[in-house]
Structures are given as structure tokens and as C-alpha cells.
Amino acid sequence: MIVLQSFIDTPGIVAACGGQKGALSFAFSHGVAIDDRDRWSAVFPSLLSLLELIQEERQARVILGQHSVLICRNETAYIGVAIRKGHPVGKSLQRMIRRKFKYLNAPMSEFVSPRAPPISPPSPFSGFKTDGSSS
């Protein structure tokens, strides 16, 4: 499951969807009316179908009235985000989505810092030869 809260908490983002085709989850910013939520819930699957028609493309950007919608896919998932047209968040939107995909696809070991091996203190005899010969 794709956590969409990080998108919705970003100013300028109106709606977001994510997941696999047929199992999408939706999230909306706090000011979005119920009617608009129903509209966005219909728009995102339609855009997924459009993106599916063009197999070699990984993303599509569509302008719908006062909104710009970016929908991206990787091998296993989709993420779609609707923003107000001309909002500055549009410049960093692709980076946000790319980071989310990287987080979803990376093994957990990349995000858990490996425990460093304990450092043993140097031996007090490390500077001396132990073969019995004197230098």
C-alpha cells in the first residue's frame, strides 16, 4: 500500500492516488468538496487507462481546467497527483514521486543502518614482538 499522506500534506496538492490498477487508494486535501472527491476518484482511473495505452511511457501530465495532473508508474505501482495549475510544488512533484517509488522498491535493509562491528581497544602489547627476539 502506498502512503499518500506525505503528498496531501504538501501545499498546492489537491488530490493523490496510489496503488496497483484496480486497487487504488485516494487521498484529498482538507479543502476539497465531496463532489470534487467523486470527480477525482473517476479521473485518476481514467488517466491510468490512458497511460496503459502507451506502454513505453512511464508518466503522463494532463491539464484539466485549473489543475495539472501527473500520473507515474513503475513496474508494480501507480502514483497520481493533482495540483493547482501554476503552483510552485509542480517543480518538485516528479522528484517527490520518484523518491516514493524508490522507497517502495528498495529492500528494507537500505533504510535500516547496519550495526557497526564493535571496535576492540588496541592491545597493550601490539607494538612488541612476541617471538622472543629482541630488536
Evaluate whether residue 73 is within a structural domain: yes
Q: Is 126 exposed, middle or buried (0-12, 13-18, 19+ CB in 10 A)?
A: exposed
Domain residue limits at 61: 5-107
pLDDT score of 115 more than 80:
no
The residue type found at 119 is I
Please give the Cα distance from 72 to 74 (Å, whole number): 7
Tens of pLDDT, residues 58-82: 888 899 999 999 988 888 788 889 9
Q: How many domains does the chain have?
A: 1
The CA distance from 77 to 92, in Å, is 20
Does any domain span residue 125? no
118, part of any domain: no
16, burial (CB in 10 Å: exposed 0-12, middle 13-18, buried 19+):
buried
User: Which CATH number is 53's domain given?
Assistant: 3.30.450.30
**Which pTM value belongs to this model?**
0.69
Give the model confidence (pLDDT) of 16-63 as tens digits. 998 877 788 888 888 787 778 888 888 888 888 888 888 788 888 899
Tell whether 19 is covered by a domain: yes
